[in-house]
Amino acid sequence: MKSKAWIGIDPGASGAIAVIYESGNVCWMKNDSTEHELADWVRDVAGTFDCSAVIEQVNAMPKQGVSSTFKFGKSFGFLIGILTALQVPYESYRPQGWQKHMRCLTKGDKNVSKAAAQRLWPSTKITHANADALLIAEFCRQIREQR
């Protein structure tokens, strides 16, 4: 029987994919990696562990340009494609949903999620790039464990 792992995905260009392992260890990969690197990384995790995932649901934002909106949607679709191809069960949640559950409503202030992640993983280097992904992975772990 495979050990469990929970994947959290912040699909933004400056976001990351994070994994929390049943052992309590965490790791992540920034989304600025190539598509092949991201796919290979998730494939390695999904091939070794019994995984489930939560991806942050995205939508266009006011005053966001057409090009950046397209890139955001493309990244979201690509990441869902990886999860689907690897048969990793996933759910998508709006930021307000997972943030409320994790008690870190940011209202756009990334420092809020960074501080919340640092409290959960005090010995881990938390950055603006990995904070949301780690918190989404922890949210995934919590909701899956409740079922």
Whether pLDDT at 139 is above 80:
yes
Beta bridge partners of 26: 20
Q: Per-residue pLDDT averaged across 47-74, rounded?
A: 84
Measuring CA to CA, how many Å separate 80 from each of 4, 14, 55, 57, 91? 20, 17, 8, 11, 10
Lowest-confidence region among 45-49, 97-101, 106-110, 120-124: 106-110
Comparing C-alpha atoms, which of 26, 104, 142 is closest to residue 132? 104
Q: What is the pLDDT of residue 108?
A: 83
Q: What is the pLDDT of residue 85?
A: 97
Whether pLDDT at 62 is above 80:
no
Please, which pLDDT band fits residue 135 given cuts at 50, 70 and 90? very high
Q: Is 28 buried (19+), middle (13-18) or exposed (0-12) by CB count in 10 A?
A: buried
Q: What is the pLDDT of residue 60?
A: 65
pLDDT tens-digit map of 23-47: 999 999 999 989 999 999 999 999 9
Q: Per-residue pLDDT averaged across 102-123, rounded?
A: 94
Q: What is the pLDDT of residue 82?
A: 97
Q: What is the pLDDT of residue 61?
A: 67
Which contacts of 16-21 are long-range, i.e. CB under 8 A and separated by 24 or more positions? 16/129, 16/130, 16/132, 16/133, 17/41, 17/42, 17/79, 17/133, 18/130, 18/133, 18/134, 18/136, 18/137, 19/45, 19/49, 19/51, 19/137, 20/134, 20/137, 20/138, 20/140, 20/141, 21/49
- Choose between 147 and 144: higher pLDDT: 144
Distance, in Å, from the CA atom of 3 to the CA atom of 47, rounded to the nearest integer, reads 11
pTM to 2 decimal places? 0.93
Distance, in Å, from the CA atom of 51 to the CA atom of 98, rounded to the nearest integer, reads 18
pLDDT tens-digit map of 67-94: 777 787 888 999 999 999 999 999 999 9
